[in-house]
Structure 1
Amino acid sequence: MIASLVTMGCGPTGPPKYLVKGGVTFNGEPIESGYIWFRDKSGEVGSVEARIKDGAYQLESLPGEKLVEISMFKEVPLPGGKPNAEGDTTMLVEALPERYNVQSILEVNVESNLEAQDFALTTKP
């Protein structure tokens, strides 16, 4: 009886998650700090996100075709050069071309662990 109670809570664990890691460069230089998202192309499962630090990222993803979005922000002076209501004199803006984030052309198919899924981004298309 005790054995049957213990095993009752053990059901299917769901689809496997795979380790994906690699490097991200922009114009040949490692992205110092940014974010990477793997978005399910079918829309059936949620997205996963990881921080890019010193040109490297690591995340766990469900299998399938993924749209990849990458962002890197830079600090720029506020227009007019005057502080805003909060006293800030700078703001963060996206530093990468839209083809790598809001209009991403990057894709990856996650079928197993990907130990070196690198992305070499450039200014020119």
Structure 2
Amino acid sequence: MPLIHARRYSVLIPAVLIFLSGCSGSSNTPPEVEVQGTVTFDGEPLPQGSIVFDPVDGKGGSSAGGIENGLFVFNSQFGNKKVLISASRDTGKKDQYDEPITESYIPANYNTNTELTAEVKADGENKFEFVLKSK
């Protein structure tokens, strides 16, 4: 191999290795922990819905999960969170395409105008119970 090609590879190989080491392993996303809990609506487990944890201070990302039979489990960054819970149900009516029409039935004070909060801790159990009422 000519000397000029050897020098080119001697510079190129370390540069590629440095690039690849930066692409693997570490990331800039904050650590997350598992959160879990229950959601009841008028005394009954919420059959299906969604739950979102938004940072109260607006810094960091949101986390979300599904609710099935009143239970949820997902990962969230730690800190103080606003909690938004929503669910919809079939109205028994159909639209022009013969598809079921659904309605959101969780009051706004649990989602768009939420009053719910949670403190997600870096260590310890992050188990929450949300008791929702229609009135």
Superposition TM-score, scaled by structure 1 size: 0.79
1:102 aligns with 2:112: yes
The SS at the match of 2:128 is coil
- Quick one: distance in 2 between partners of 1:85 and 1:42? 43
> Within 5 A, what are the aligned runs for 1:64-83?
64-78=79-93, 83=94
- Quick one: distance in 2 between partners of 1:38 and 1:118? 14
Give the number of the structure whose residues are more often helix, by fraction. Answer: 2
Q: 2:97 aligns with which of 71, 86, 92?
A: 86
In the TM superposition, residue 91 of structure 1 has moved relative to its aligned partner by 1.0
The alignment of Structure 1 onto Structure 2 pairs a total of residues equal to: 117
For the pair shown, the structure with the greater C-alpha radius of gyration is: 2
Q: 4+ runs of 1 displaced by more than 6 Å?
A: none
Identity percentage of aligned residues: 30
Q: 2:132 aligns with which of 113, 121, 124?
A: 121
- Quick one: distance in 2 between partners of 1:11 and 1:116? 28
List gaps (5 residues or longer) in structure 1: none
1:33 aligns with 2:33: no
- Quick one: distance in 2 between partners of 1:123 and 1:85? 30
Could you say what the CA RMSD is over the residues aligned between the two structures, in angstroms? 2.4
Alignment-mate amino acid for residue 111 of structure 1: K
Seen in structure 2, the aligned counterparts of structure 1 residues 115 and 44 have a Cα distance that, compared at 3 Å, is: closer
- Quick one: distance in 1 between partners of 2:56 and 2:126? 21
Seen in structure 2, the aligned counterparts of structure 1 residues 87 and 12 have a Cα distance that, compared at 3 Å, is: closer
Seen in structure 2, the aligned counterparts of structure 1 residues 25 and 13 have a Cα distance that, compared at 3 Å, is: same
Give the structure, 1 or 2, with the largest relative contact order (CA under 8 Å, sep 6 or more).
1
Superposition TM-score, scaled by structure 2 size: 0.73
Q: 1:47 aligns with which of 39, 47, 62?
A: 62
In the TM superposition, residue 73 of structure 1 has moved relative to its aligned partner by 0.8
